[in-house]
Chains A and B, each alone.
Chain A
Amino acid sequence: MNGDLLLDVDGLCVQYDMPGGAPLLAVSDVSFTLRRGEILGIAGESGSGKTTLITALLRLQRPPAVTVAGRARFFPRDGEPLDLLHADARTLRRLRWERIAVVFQSAMNALNPVQRLSSQFVDAVRAHRRLSKAEARRRAERMFELVGIPAGRMRDYPHELSGGMRQRATIALALVCEPDVVVMDEPTTAVDVVMQRQILRQIARLQREAGFAIIFITHDLSLLLEISHRIAIMYGGRIVESAPALALHRDPRHRYTVGLRDSFPPLRGPVPQLLGIPGTPPDLRRPLPGCSFAPRCAHSTADCEATVPPLQTEAERVYACIHPHRQAVEVQP
């Protein structure tokens, strides 16, 4: 997984222009890197900016969202690095699907309901590869089998598949041009736990075999801990902590990460009294001068409320907290 640099996002800021008011800063100064073959999880609750971040990065955002600062350098296998945030439409068209693919949460909306799956796949492949229809179809059939759907189902319309199969079909569709990175936005939220497990295992296997990188976005930290190499936690539009998955689980620094981790009741071991995180998520319409988590934090002081805590680096992790948590827990085997 310690491959070459694939994506380097630096100082990304996205705002929403509000009618007759000050703009709302939905993503503030977000920086992260992604290496070839790395699985980066981004966890955050509603309104934390994770989807805004991704749509800005992929240049899929629509007004009133505007990217106001930052750059996102993408390093192709061959050729010069380029900035995704300033690439022209032609470059983007070449990159999408071919190098950067996306899997959205709602599989039903991602597939064309009036086209058979086979023709959607053939279209996607032939838009990017010079292949005959028959070759494109064979390639699509191979992808179908890789995600565990019988090739015969390619003749179906999307509504003829179950929810789990549809979601697997969109994953196959994303992978059909062998991209360098796949962005997955809550790909398993709409399916049941058993199907979720099956899809995650398939993603993990395909990733091991093909070596693409993944940016996996979800509100479910417990799921990210299982699949990611590295996890970034977003709160109030910022990345407040980023660390290798195991370190983030056993020994988080930011107080919000601790609260989020301890919001998932355990399936095994003793049942502790859990409190969740008191208070409510930040209102981005009324940004605070200091740490946006301070009003909910039991450890906040006047310093926390005065200025936004700077990102601190410690070994393989970064965090934005001036009273960090330091108490590793032994996780029950």
Chain B
Amino acid sequence: MTSVADGGPVLEAAGLTVHYPVHRGPIGGRVVHALDDVTLTLHPGRIVAVVGESGSGKSTLARVLAMAQQPTAGSVRLSGQEVRLRSRRARREYASRVQLVLQDPFSSLNPLHRVRYLLARPLALHAGVRAEAELDRRIRGLLERVALTPAERFIDAYPHELSGGQRQRVAIARALAVRPDVILGDELVSMLDVSMRLEILNLLSGLRDEERLAMLYITHDIAAARYFTDEIAVMYAGEIVEYGPSEPVTQAPAHPYTKLLIGSSPDPGREPALDGDDDDLGEPPDLVAPPAGCRFHPRCPFVMAHCRVSAPPRVDVDAGRWARCWLLVDEVEPTPRQTT
């Protein structure tokens, strides 16, 4: 994986696999391949975006990295130590270093408590702050870090008195309260109005630059990922199909799926916009019985015979970038799609 000059990785996932067993119904006894052999590294002061369609495994990846869920296989290392959460204490210690922020600030904040209480809980539980005056000082500091100022206006508010963007800031402040090294953000802005999203994205890039936090940012919006993240991992059907620095991944995508994703995203500058023929662009595969070989092959315009039988290897494309695609393997000549 990419090595950075400024220190080693903080969180490393290797070979993460999650198979959900199906207990009943016509497919009972089989498994859903939610995540297959995902390897990913987070460094301090860098944001990695995970981009993909619904069902691609993005949220499962975040849940496993947050240890909210056990992987079927694979390991997670925090600062080089393999993570094994056997006790409550170990769980709490892990949570004080790796924090998950969820998509919906309308349901992730307890509506019965004021902002003060919501932020005091993690301070008391993880940082052991109990003295009233110190708590108050720390809570105000947190509100300032997420630009909820003046703090007096927000500290005694209930979640329903805040806008969506303000609530999401409270959720981020709550994650910051434990002084984590890593923040995992799952679709942090997708529930917010468009005009409020950038403030949150700019807040996250500020935290990266000033406090050197490592972040995983899950999104379906590849333009937003390009705007503020350092690297992009493109997921398809539970696998990472392309990984690399954000600019090359979005400007010269190597994997046909990345191309499809970018070509499908709204882009007002593009012309002609919708005059193209409406070919069937296909849909993500059944994850109970994923396609043999490359999982993207049924939708791929460049599919070749052996794409249907063997899974493509990880191929280096350029600096820090790789993709899983047979087109990138030199020995294999691409042939046009067979019409059946």
Question: Chain A: residues with CB nearer than 8 A to chain B?
Answer: 45-46, 148, 162, 164-165, 192-198, 200-202, 204-205, 219-223, 225-227, 249, 259-260, 263-269, 271, 273-278, 280-281, 331-333
Contact = CB atoms under 8 A, between A and B. Distances in A.
Nearest to A162: B283
B281 interface: yes
Interface residues of B, number: 46
B251 A265 contact: no
Contacts of B151: none
B268 A226 contact: yes
Given A192-B54, A333-B269, A263 B261 contact: no
B332 interface: no
Interface of B: 53-54, 163-166, 193-199, 202, 220, 222-224, 226-228, 250-251, 260-271, 273-278, 280-284
B278 A195 contact: no
A222 B266 contact: yes
Contacts of B193: 45-46, 219, 281
Contact of B269 (A227, A281, A332): A332
A249 B224 CA distance: 19
Contacts of B261: 193-194
Contacts of B196: 276-277, 280
Contact of B226 (A201, A223, A267, A332): A267
A249 B54 CA distance: 30
B274 A268 contact: no
Given A194-B264, A226-B266, A274-B198, 11 more contacts: A45-B195, A192-B284, A193-B222, A193-B265, A195-B281, A195-B283, A204-B274, A264-B194, A266-B269, A276-B194, A281-B163
Given A264-B223, A267-B226, A277 B195 contact: yes
Overall SS of chain A's interface: loop
Contacts of A194: 53, 260-261, 264, 281-282
A194 B51 CA distance: 13
B137 to A, nearest CB: 27
Contacts of A202: 278
15 contacts: A164-B283, A193-B220, A193-B222, A193-B261, A194-B282, A195-B281, A197-B264, A225-B266, A226-B268, A226-B270, A227-B274, A259-B195, A263-B197, A264-B268, A267-B262
Contact of A204 (B198, B224, B227, B275): B275
Nearest to A277: B195
A185 B302 CA distance: 36
A275 B202 contact: yes
B223 A265 contact: yes
